[in-house]
Amino acid sequence: MDVHSGFIGATEDQLRAAHERDLAIEAAEGAHVERAWLDPDSGKVFCLSSGPSKEAVLRVHEKAGHPTTESYELPVEVE
């Protein structure tokens, strides 16, 4: 899970465009950004991704133009 800040007032179209930039380049890192959620009031975006490492996913975000340093590996999941 990657957390991005500063997206206050962002729209669904803007989130989709950012996500599509990830999707366009993620294969080079062997990663996949699965879902992204936006809170336009706080400007937070949460991205759920899979890949070989946290660093690989962060490189995707950086190359796509929306770098972050806040990332968490989540080896445990329950439903």
- Residues of this chain that interact with a second copy (CB under 8 A) are 1, 10-12, 15-16, 19, 34-42, 44, 46, 72-79
Tokens of 36: 């992204």
Q: Which long-range contacts (CB under 8 A, 24 or more apart) does 50-56 make?
A: 51/26, 56/29, 56/30, 56/31
Contact 5, 40 (CB under 8 A): no
Question: To the nearest whole angstrom, how small is the minimum distance from the Cβ of residue 24 to a second copy?
Answer: 14
CB of 12 to a second copy, least distance (A): 5
Minimum distance from residue 18 beta carbon to a second copy (Å): 9
